[in-house]
Chain A
Amino acid sequence: ESVMTQTPLSLSVTPGQPASISCKSSQSLLHSSGNTYLHWYLQKPGQSPHLLIYEVSNRFSGVPDRFSGSGSGTDFTLKISRVEVEDVGVYYCMQTTQAPYTFGQGTKLEIK
């Protein structure tokens, strides 16, 4: 099982400033297909989670370009170039390279 570790677990950001979340897996997430199935989700308060980034760096439909993902192997990063008030919530990384699929613990983003 791939254990996913996110840091930090919380961060407080001033609107307009950047934010970065790290996600490290205990095993390489490179699949035999050559793809890396590491994804990022945001759960806004009181809502279901929704997909932000799939396969490390691809923004899902409708996701603003201030969100970007990068990384490879076991180390991944989600960056928000300029945080907006609407970005508050809990961010999760998740791997679907191998079953059981696993999530990081979540990173709570608050606005200063």
Chain B
Amino acid sequence: EVQLVESGGGLVQPGGSLRLSCAASGFAFNGHWMNWVRQAPGKGLEWVAIIKEDGSEKYYVDSVKGRFTISRDNAQKSLHLQMNSLRAEDTAVYYCVRSAVVWSLDMWGQGTMVTVSP
């Protein structure tokens, strides 16, 4: 079964750090760019970051540049998001999402909740 399973969410204080992980299965992980997309409570979707198949290219939304780092381990079929200097506005469900060959986001995980609060 093709699947993406996120983990690592939780409650963290402002200024703190958290590392999200995503375990992929059922497809050739090293053949796809991978993304993180987030959704604040009751709000719309916001694309956060993307990483190339081999990890050689990474792009971020401006609001997380310098604070978040996307990475991957193709041997372990895993995607990660290291989040530092967290702010209240980073509170959201974070989805691990696969990019298709035609650049649509064609497979989504169930999401992991990150809450930044004192």
Interface residues of A (CB under 8 A from B): 35, 37, 39, 41, 43, 48-51, 54-55, 58, 60, 90, 92, 94, 96, 99-106
Contacts and interface: CB of A to CB of B under 8 A. Distances in A.
A99 B50 contact: yes
Given A39-B105, A48-B109, A99-B59, 15 more contacts: A41-B45, A51-B105, A51-B106, A54-B106, A55-B102, A92-B44, A94-B45, A94-B47, A94-B105, A96-B104, A100-B47, A100-B59, A100-B60, A103-B46, A104-B44
A48 B37 CA distance: 11
A54 B45 contact: no
Among B45, B95, B99, B111, which residue has the most Cβ atoms of chain A within 10 A? B45
B47 A103 contact: yes
B104 A105 contact: no
A10 to B, nearest CB: 13
A35 B59 CA distance: 21
Contacts of A54: 100, 102, 104, 106
Contacts of A106: 44-45
B62 interface: yes
Contact of B95 (A39, A48, A90, A100): A48
A28 B108 CA distance: 27
B11 interface: no
A41 B109 CA distance: 14
Contacts of A96: 99, 103-105
B110 interface: yes
Interface string B34-73: 0100000000111100100000000111100000000000
Contacts of B35: 101
Interface in B84-108: 95, 99-100, 102-106, 108
Nearest to B104: A54
Contacts of B60: 100
Contacts of B45: 41, 43, 49, 92, 94, 103, 106
